[in-house]
Structure 1
């Protein structure tokens, strides 16, 4: 399980570096007095979008055989 956690963290971390979400977060942090609020808001958004991805993947796996996806 730890292997999956670390590989997922590494891949998502690399994918998010320098993308428009990170640039937007930097812009918001530079304009906001509350860096903590920006962090909580951006972290919550990433968690929610990741949850949607996990749920979508679970549904796809339930209704479409893995052999078709590969």
Structure 2
């Protein structure tokens, strides 16, 4: 149960304010789409993209076990943050 809560919480927080969530919100502004249809379609899209990530991650796990993936991911996120700050102050 702990693993479920960690994954759920992490993905939930990562998706808040995400461009995918904003795109879903925009579909609701267009009154041609019923809220139930938008909810179902967006949910299925998230499930499908997550399934692709799980399949690719499971396959990659066999080949990338020697790489320090957490460190690489952390450095990548730090680099993106620095890049965004540089672009902000550059203007």
For Structure 1 versus Structure 2, the TM-score category normalised by the shorter chain is 0.7 to 0.9
4+ runs deviating over 3 angstroms: none
Where does residue 47 of structure 1 map in the other structure? 47
CA-atom RMSD, angstroms? 1.3
Question: Which structure exhibits the higher relative contact order, with contacts defined as CA atoms closer than 8 Å and separated by 6 or more residues?
Answer: 1
1:26-51 Cα shifts (integer Å, max 9, x gaps): 01012134100000000000000000
| TM superposition score normalised by structure 1 | 0.87
Residue segments in structure 1 that go unaligned for 5+ positions in a row: none
1:4-35 Cα shifts (integer Å, max 9, x gaps): 11111100010011111011000101213410
Matched length: 68
| TM superposition score normalised by structure 2 | 0.68
Determine which structure has more spread, i.e. the larger CA radius of gyration: 2
